[in-house]
Structure formats: C-alpha cells, structure tokens
A and B are shown apart, each in its own frame.
Chain A
Amino acid sequence: MFVLKVKKQEEIFELINNKKTFVFICEGCNEIFLYREEITKFLDSLSKENIIDTKIVDYICNPEYIKNYFEIFKKTIDLSDIILIFSCGVGVQTANKISNLPVYTGCDTLHIPGYKGVETVADENYDCILCGNCYLNYTANICPLTSCPKELLNGPCGGAKNGKCEIDNKKDCSWEKIFEKLKKYNNFEKIKNEILTRKF
C-alpha cells in the first residue's frame, strides 16, 4: 500500500500561481492511501478559471497509459499551462517524461509499506525497503531497517521507555519486541554471535 500525503495548500497555490492547470489524480493502485477528500476540497477552493480540467485515471506510472491520457485529453491539456498530479513519485516522474508542459506534484510519497505490486493488498504495518540483504532471520522476523528509526542491526539503543521508541513514543520499540520474540523462542545464537553491518 502506498501512503501519499497531500502537500500543504499554500505550497500548491504557489506552484499553480494563477496558471491554467490540468489536474491528474491517479487511482491506479487500488490499495493506495490517498487523501481524496482533501484533494477535492482543495480543488473546489480554487477558482474555476484556474482549473481547466480534472481527470481521475489509473496507473500513470505506466508509460503507455500516460501517453494515451495525453492524447485523449489533448483538447484541455492544450488549453493549460501546467499539469498538477496527485500520485506517487513514480507516476509524476513518468508523466514528466512525456509532457510538454511543466509538471508539478501535489503529493509527498511517504512510503510504500509492504508493497507487492498492484494485485496484493499488503499489511500496512510491515514495510520493506528492499535492502537486498534480509536480516529477518536474525531479528525474529521484525525488520530492523523499517521499524527502528536508527536502523540498528545489533540490538536496541537502550532508549526505549515504557516499551515505546525514544524517537516516537506512539510506536513500540521494535528492538524490545525483537528481544521478546527471541526470548520466547530462545533463539539468540545467530544474532549474538554475529556482528551485522549493512551492505549498501
């Protein structure tokens, strides 16, 4: 599931800056976490002259699809000065490649937790940054890279308080959880005997 955040309204206002704007909202990934209401409300707050057209589309990250969209919506795109896109960073980059108009993004891509392609609705609590050297066998299947803000591989930083992470007290300390799990299964050997380092 992608998690996207709509940028601050002032920021988008500044980007548009009274230019005639064509808006794409991408809803290709059906597991996408996109603030549709926030976008609609924001667009409604703009003057009608500013927004030439708004289209909700699928998979603008697909080069073929986005090419088609530019053809299908040619009439209104040609009347516009800029393209504003609400999608993940990949979609924006793909659209940018073929657009003759300046492209702006209205979103921040926060993360793609557990993203397994468009067919799967993955558990948003698990994330993988595809580090290429999976440590899950050492860490009781809790990913230390995506769940610990310091990305620690060799044990907790010692900063947890009441089970919560020292960086973010709304989240559990993943290393204390790892430790509990390892304790439960008495499975310390592997992590105790090896000093782990990242392979970038």
Chain B
Amino acid sequence: MEQRNAGKHPEPPRREDASHMEYMTEVRNFAIRSWFPRIAGDVSSIAAAAGLPPAITRDEFAQLAPQVDQIPAVQGWKRLMRSQQQLAWQKLQDSYAADREYWEGQLTEAEERNRGRLHYDPDFVAPESACQDIHLQPGGYCGDNLAGYVFYHGTRVFYQGDNDFDEIHDSCADVMKLPADGQVRRVLDLGCSIGQCTTALKERHPDAEVRGLDVALPMLRYAHMRATDMNVDVHFHQGLAEDLEFSDGTFDTVFAYILFHEVPKHTFEPIVREAFRVLRPGGTFTVIDAPNADRLPPPNRMWAAYDAQYNCEPFSPAFGAADFTGLLAKAGFEDVEKGSSDSFLYNTFAVKPL
C-alpha cells in the first residue's frame, strides 16, 4: 500500500522486507496484546502479596524483580520482545546495506535538488549519549548513513501498523498548544528525527517557517529527502537541543515529541532553558513524552524496566522520575499544565510569560 506521507520511497527495498515487517508487526502485536495481559496478572499478584499498593515506584519494583523474573511466561515475553526487535532491525539494515550506494545516492540527490533546507556542519561530533543503540537499532541514530530509512520502517513495526500514514504524528501536531494571540510565524520541532512531526506541523501552519532540529545527521538527511519528495517546505538543522543556534525570541512555538526520555537527565534543564530562550514572549512549548510518574501499576513498571535495560532506553527511567513540570516552572514558564492524552504518553504545555 502506498504510504501517503513517506515521500517517494514508501516501501522497503524488497517485497520480502515488506512481508517480514508485516510478520514482525504481528509478532509484536501478539507480544503486547495477547502475551503481556496474561503475565500482567501474575506480576500484580506478586506485588499485592508483598503488601504493595496498586501503583509502585521503580525501587519497589526492583525488590520484586527477582521473583517476577522467575515466571516462565515473563522470561519468554522478554525474549520475544527483544528478539522481535533485533530481528526486525537486522533484516532492514541488511537489505538497505546490500544496495548502499543507491540509497545514499538518493539522499545526496535530494540535497542537490532542494538546496538550503538542510543545515549541518560536517565537523559536528555527536555526544556519546546520542550514539546509543536506542531501541536496539544497530548503530543507533548516528552510526549508519542509512539509519533514517531503517528507522522509518522499523518504527512502522513499533507503531504496530497504526502510523503507516503518520496518523500518530498528525495527532501530535494537532494537540500542539498555540500562542494566545494566534500568531504562528516560526515553529521549532526539537529532536525531529525523520521529520514526521515537522511536516505535519507545516501542513497545519502553511504560512509559518517550520524548522526541525536533531543531533543525528542520518535522520535529518532522510527527513530532508522525505520532505522534498512530499513537496513540503521545511528546514532541518543538525544540533543539540541544549545548545540551540537560534537567537532569543525567534519562535512562536516549540514542540518536542518523545525527545526527553531519550536524553541524559543532566540535559533536561538546559534543553528547557534553551526552549524558553528561543521563544518570544507569549510563545508556547509543547512536550509529548513518556509519563512522568513516580508510581505505575506493577506490570507497567516491569515493562518500563525491561525497556530501559533490554530495549536500550537507558535515559528513560530518569525522565519518568523527573519533576518535569517543576523544571518548566523553574525555567520561567507559566501556565504549565499536563494535558490529557489518549495514548500512554503525556502532553505537557507551557507558556513563556509576556
């Protein structure tokens, strides 16, 4: 099926890659919708037997973990989750690598076709934190020139087929909080990856100048090619969210979708400060990310612990534990509110005072 928002390379290289992704999506669905609910009861019972409340902290779960890990169905669930993820990435990566020159050429060709929209310094060196194999993608976001292609298809599996038309990115762009005066001339998408929110934001604010920023060049090159193919005029910048190149008061609104849980905790504050600085008075900041929740139901805790350690999300637990709204207030933001969310993610909104 043609992916509406995928640019001109909507499908992976071979029919068999598409079949394999379809299979992996089904395996993931099974692990999440069929297997996980069955172990959830056992995990909750262990917590209840230990006298714990219905929602527990990370430390409380750590006490239970040895017992939980004895449950055969928990062991199998973890194996299934990890192998599914590893095998899906590996096949995609091998497929693209088999015709590396062609796929790299496509990125370069887009840069030549649409100049002045991709901004990077060839000497930029990404920090170590951005070079983890996040979600087990081999080489992570920065390690392979073709990482953007692989990420695009790999995340289609991750979203279990619910994002084949960027539905999730579209709905994120829809919830972005607008400045009270309604003026949206410049928009910044922090940690934009392959630019799916960036283009969704531009489609909603066609007269605005929309810029995506990310640390990883392979993601940005793919983002740029995709936006070029889609004929959506946006800019992409390589840089660090905690050290923005833009001058004070540049943007009417700043947006960050699932960036924060993937950065080290010492950068939360600098990133928030930078967002504040580059916003104009009355500008808004929208953050959609993993829950900042001290306490979660025991099965969710188990999943979060699995994710951090075995799905390579090492920074995520610290974000979960952070007082993020407090951090926003400390940076000077007002009207900090946790909005409702229809997914498991939290929407947080803040306004720079006039």
Question: Does A pair with B?
Answer: no
B residues near A (Cβ < 8 Å) are none
